[in-house]
């Protein structure tokens, strides 16, 4: 799938979406809207948590809840893309890109046309299935030396971002806050004598699910749900 974007609005980093009190809140890595009002949620995933397809479904639903207000027509829903960038292949077919849209199972020529797509990018793919520019980007994500002008520009942008005092301060503030919350959660789990809780908090911390950490340490029923989700016995 090739996306043609003229320009984008200012991206929101670590955008938080908090539904009602009983539902799980999420924090999106990068939330972008382009000139055609199409929404993109871009997620960098470090480890394979074995639930990315389910998480993409949940993120899609939460984004839709944010995009439409009471009394609006469903036709007013923005088109949206959920994009996971991964240094691993969750589907095992050695593709660089896996794009999913809703289609008719009985007739694959019929698209549901609900305006949503979920894309999983694999930085370690081997097939010739993406553009030169995207391949260069994925190689960069995989830690390889930039080989073209696009990757060189990306490398320079990363260096400039690291020099930007405001960006660095915001990043470090988020990082420190998240680490503090993870450490507090682990300490609380140890205090309660729950090794299971400490293990759960480490897993949640690896996925930046900080709000879930705070809720899990204080809500026993919710904690049990997460134990099941992560198969912690």
pLDDT of 214 > 60? The answer is yes
Highest mean pLDDT among 36-50, 85-99, 141-155, 210-224: 85-99
Whole-number mean pLDDT of the chain? 78
Q: Global pTM?
A: 0.66
Report the alpha-carbon distance of residue 41 to residue 186 in Å, rounded: 29
Helices (H) and strands (E) in the chain, counts: 7, 6
Task: Read off the pLDDT of residues 114-140 as tens digits, 9 standing for 90 and up.
Answer: 999 999 999 999 999 999 888 988 998
Collect contacts of 130-135 with beta carbons under 8 A, ≥24 apart: 130/96, 130/97, 131/2, 134/96, 134/97, 135/96
What's the burial of 204, exposed, middle or buried (CB within 10 Å: 0-12/13-18/19+)?
buried
Q: φ, ψ for residue 10 (rounded to 5)?
A: -60, 125
CB atoms within 10 A of CB 99: 13
Q: Which residue has the higher pLDDT, 71 or 19?
A: 71
Task: Read off the pLDDT of residues 159-209 as tens digits, 9 standing for 90 and up.
Answer: 776 666 655 555 555 555 555 555 665 556 555 546 788 788 888 877 777
Secondary structure letter of residue 103 according to DSSP: B
What pLDDT sits at residue 193?
Answer: 47
Measuring CA to CA, which residue among 89, 92, 3 is closest to residue 40?
3
Q: Which residue has the higher pLDDT, 60 or 5?
A: 60
Query: Are the C-beta atoms of residues 181 and 210 closer than 8 Å to each other?
Result: yes
What pLDDT sits at residue 167?
Answer: 58
Report the alpha-carbon distance of residue 77 to residue 227 in Å, rounded: 34
Q: Which run of H or E residues covers position 167?
A: helix 165-191
Percent of the chain with pLDDT over 90: 27
Gyration radius of the chain over CA positions = 19
Half-sphere exposure of 36 (CA within 13 A, CB side): 10
């Amino acid at each position: 799938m090739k996306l043609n974007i003229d320009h984008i609005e200012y991206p929101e980093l670590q955008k938080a979406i908090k539904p009602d009190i009983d539902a799980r809140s999420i924090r999106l890595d990068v939330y972008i809207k382009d000139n055609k009002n199409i929404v993109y949620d871009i997620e960098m995933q470090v480890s394979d948590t074995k639930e990315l397809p389910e998480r993409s479904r949940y993120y899609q639903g939460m984004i839709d809840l944010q995009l439409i207000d009471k009394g609006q027509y469903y036709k007013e829903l923005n088109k949206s893309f959920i994009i996971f960038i991964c240094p691993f292949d969750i589907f095992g077919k050695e593709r660089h890109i896996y794009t999913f849209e809703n289609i008719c199972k009985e007739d694959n020529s019929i698209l549901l046309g609900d305006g949503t797509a979920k894309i999983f990018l694999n930085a370690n793919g081997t097939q010739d299935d993406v553009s030169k520019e995207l391949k260069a980007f994925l190689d960069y994500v995989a830690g390889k030396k930039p080989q073209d002008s696009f990757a060189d520009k990306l490398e320079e942008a990363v260096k400039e971002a690291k020099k930007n005092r405001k960006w660095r301060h915001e990043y470090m503030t988020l990082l420190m806050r998240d680490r503090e919350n993870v450490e507090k959660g682990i300490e609380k789990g140890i205090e309660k004598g729950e090794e299971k809780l400490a293990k759960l908090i480490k897993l949640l911390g690896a996925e930046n699910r900080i709000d879930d950490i705070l809720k899990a340490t204080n809500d026993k029923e919710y904690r049990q749900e997460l134990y099941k989700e992560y198969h912690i016995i």
